[in-house]
Structure 1
Amino acid sequence: MKKLTRSRNDRMVAGVIGGLGEYFNVDANLIRVLWVIITVFTGFIPGIVAYLLLWLILPQE
């Protein structure tokens, strides 16, 4: 069973997006681009808050 964790290897800030990429078996750079686009179109705050919450909630790999 796979667990969603923050990545130690594929990280830019906290490893949240890298962990999502590993969990869903998708290139983390694609998720990063989508995350930035969604964050820009929702007014920055929701995307930033979601990232910070995932940083706090997800355990380190």
Structure 2
Amino acid sequence: MNAPRTLSRSRHDRIIAGVMGGIARRFGWSATLTRVLYVVLSIVSAGFPGILVYLILWLLIPEEGN
């Protein structure tokens, strides 16, 4: 049986901090599509402070291999 994938920031699939790359890897999604959807959601929704949430995720999600 496969071990469950843990959530961690990607060291290889990163643009800024690897947050979206890590989330995409964890759930088996496309990293590019995950980034695009996150940006669109951040722009369209006034109730979703995208930059603040990204910074919090950057602080809370450990980097891959740590």
Q: Larger Cα Rg: Structure 1 or Structure 2?
A: 2
Gap regions ≥5 residues in structure 2: none
TM-score computed with the length of structure 2 as normaliser: 0.85
Q: How many residues align?
A: 61
**Separation of aligned partners in 2, 1:40 and 1:54:** 18
Identical aligned pairs, as a percentage? 46
Gap regions ≥5 residues in structure 1: none
Q: Is the 8 A contact 2:42 2:48 kept in 1?
A: yes
SS of the equivalent of 2:53 reads helix
1:1-61 to structure 2, matched below 5 A, reads: 1-43=4-46, 46-61=49-64
Distance 1:44 1:33, change over 3 A: farther
**Separation of aligned partners in 2, 1:48 and 1:29:** 17
The alignment's C-alpha RMSD in Å is 1.5
Letter in 2 for 1:20: I
- Mean alpha-carbon deviation: is it higher for 45-54 or for 17-26? 45-54
Q: Is the 8 A contact 2:41 2:48 kept in 1?
A: no
Q: Which has the higher helix share?
A: 1
